[in-house]
Structure 1
Amino acid sequence: MPDRLTIVNFLLFQIGWFVCVLSGAAELNSPAVIFTVALLIFHFRFYRWKQTDYKLVLAAILIGVVLDSSWSAWNLMAYQAQTIEPIAPWWIWCLWINFALTLNHSLSWLLRRRVMAGIFSAVASPVSYYAGSHLGALDWLQPEILIVVLAISWGLAIPLLLTLANYWRNQESGKQHAVV
């Protein structure tokens, strides 16, 4: 049975998803940024794996912002609250940060199930972006292509982030050779 902090991590991600997406729909980045800063403060105060989570946040921002900005640049989707074309808006950055904070905690059961994570991500990511579009945070400009691009991108990105999480977690716990 998961401990309380794992459940809190899961719930905070769900709340964060809605805060970020609804911020985007309202063409406001500030609620997403404020929530995410508060989440980071809370997270790094109470959760284990601080070094690993810090690195995962940076890796997720890099991967996520490159992916989401590319989709915008390729005219596959258009974001609300986008301040600098084609760079993904701040609320997307916040979503990636919030997501990164789940990898060692509420999603840690996927650390050694990366193929399953890739398949799950390939299916779930288009659904998540579709939900975001229906809440008004983004528009799908080329849906048929976007679904495929989302599935492939997330199907590869999430196993990569989990591999990094596993490696950094083993490093942080003091193991010399991480099992990757």
Structure 2
Amino acid sequence: MNRAFAATAVNFIGLQALWPVAVIGAVRQWAVPAWSVVMVMLVLLWALERNWRSDSRLLLAGALGCVLVEPLLMLTGLLRYAAGGGAWWPPSWIWSLWLGFAVSFNYSLAWLHQRPRWAAMLGAVGGVVSVSMGIRLGAASAPLGWLPLALCYALLWAAVVPLLAAMSRREWEKAP
């Protein structure tokens, strides 16, 4: 098995594990398991691919996304997290989701690089499904109701996913 395929497989498995670990951990007020998934995934990715510069830029983009998007949702009253964080600062497990998701555009989500419409559709639908399941499991609530949150989430994630895919594509194009 070549290293690029192995890194993509590690990322795919890590990304699939991250969401339930983060959300269930949030319900139980455990942040460490989510961060453990992210850290193990990154260590394995960097052992296999050594794309730490490109990955670091995407991690930074994920952190910036978290800083810009989550406070907007929280301050408007669209979203309230059950545990951790504050009135406007997102809880630790949300940070782990943003970072794990962002770095995935160099690996298992790289297929979206040349497909901005698919990226927007995946972002809109996936974002709404993700937040809806998180609410259903008790990790968050929608104080203003599900519909306003779903509409806002669909619009935000329809923009965020193509932006992350485009950023990753530019990183790939710069690589030797």
Give yes or no for TM over 0.5. Answer: yes
1:169 partnered with 2:176: no
Q: May I ask how many residue pairs the two structures share in their alignment?
A: 172
Q: Distance in 2 between matches of 1:38 and 1:159?
A: 26
Instruction: Compute the displacement of 1:48 (Å).
Output: 4.7
Match of 2:10 in 1: 8
- Give the fraction of aligned pairs with identical amino acids, expressed as a percent: 29
| CA distance in 2 between partners of 1:116 and 1:130 (Å) | 21
| Whole-angstrom distance in 2 between the partners of 1:113 and 1:48 | 26
TM-score normalised to structure 1 length? 0.88
Shift of 1:51: 1.5
* Partners of 1:125 and 1:154 within 8 A in 2: yes
1:57 equivalent in alignment to 2:59: yes
Q: SS state of the match for residue 38, structure 1?
A: helix
Q: Of residues 131, 136, 141 in structure 1, which corresponds to 2:133?
A: 131
Q: Distance in 2 between matches of 1:83 and 1:107?
A: 28
Query: For 2:154 and 2:85, how far apart are their aligned partners in 1?
Result: 26
Alignment counterpart, residue 42 of structure 1, candidates 44, 49, 57: 44
Whole-Å separation in 2 of the counterparts to 1:32 and 1:4 = 22
Q: CA deviation at 1:158?
A: 1.0
Q: Structure 1: which 5+ residue stretches go unaligned?
A: 175-180
Look up the match of 2:147: 144
Q: List runs of 5+ in structure 2 lacking aligned partners.
A: none
Contact residue 55 and residue 103 of structure 2 kept, 8 A: yes
Q: 2:106 is paired with a residue of what secondary structure?
A: coil
Give the structure with the higher percent helix. 2
| Structure 2 Cα separation of the partners of residues 74 and 43 of structure 1 | 37
What letter matches 1:18 in structure 2? Answer: P
Name the stretch that deviates more: 92-101 or 4-13: 4-13
Asked if the contact 1:65/1:92 (under 8 Å) is kept, the reply is no
Q: Secondary structure at the match of 1:85?
A: coil
Q: RMSD between aligned alpha carbons?
A: 1.6
Does the CA-based 8 Å contact 1:6-1:106 persist in structure 2?
yes
2:10 and 2:42 map into 1 onto residues whose CA distance is: 13
